Amino acid sequence: DAGVIQSPRHEVTEMGQEVTLRCKPISGHDYLFWYRQTMMRGLELLIYFNNNVPIDDSGMPEDRFSAKMPNASFSTLKIQPSEPRDSAVYFCASSSKGTGGNQPQHFGDGTRLSIL
């Protein structure tokens, strides 16, 4: 079975440019999460969706960040305008509600973003 698919794997762009990260969750999963990983702050939850609806975006650092989930098989995380401090690895993860409580999240391979 296909896992969570993220694209691109690497992105290098100049400060001020718009960056769009993409994620395809595992089919049938109804939760989708976006995380950011940096050396200084570790793994941080940015936003998550349930059934395509944003549930909690309290981790989104500022208005330059936005996320959408137009359908059950696709989500985007956009940064506009990008800044050097946005450089990080961005992970997308998905999980099913299932029974018996919180199911494990399955992560994509991540997008390594470098803003020059």
The values of phi and psi at residue 86, to 5°, are -80, -5
Please, which residue, 16 or 33, has the CB nearer to other proteins? Answer: 33
Please, which residue, 65 or 91, has the CB nearer to other proteins? Answer: 91
Min dist CB 95 to other proteins, Å, is: 7
Q: Give the number of residues in contact with other proteins, rule: CB under 8 A.
A: 25
Structure tokens, 90: 């961005």
Compute CA 110 distance to the chain's CA centroid, rounded to the nearest angstrom.
Answer: 8
Please, which residue, 64 or 109, has the CB nearer to other proteins? Answer: 109
What is the x/- site pattern for other proteins, positions 19-58, by CB under 8 A?
Answer: ------------x-x--------xx-x--x-x----xx--
Question: How far apart (Å, rounded) are the C-alpha atoms in residues 6 and 3?
Answer: 10
List for the chain the helix, strand, coil content (%; round to 5).
5, 55, 45
The residues facing 12 across adjacent strands are: 114
Question: How far apart (Å, rounded) are the C-alpha atoms in residues 81 and 15?
Answer: 7
Please, which residue, 20 or 109, has the CB nearer to other proteins? Answer: 109
Binding site for other proteins (CB under 8 A): 31, 33, 42-43, 45, 48, 50, 55-56, 89, 91, 93, 95, 100-110, 112
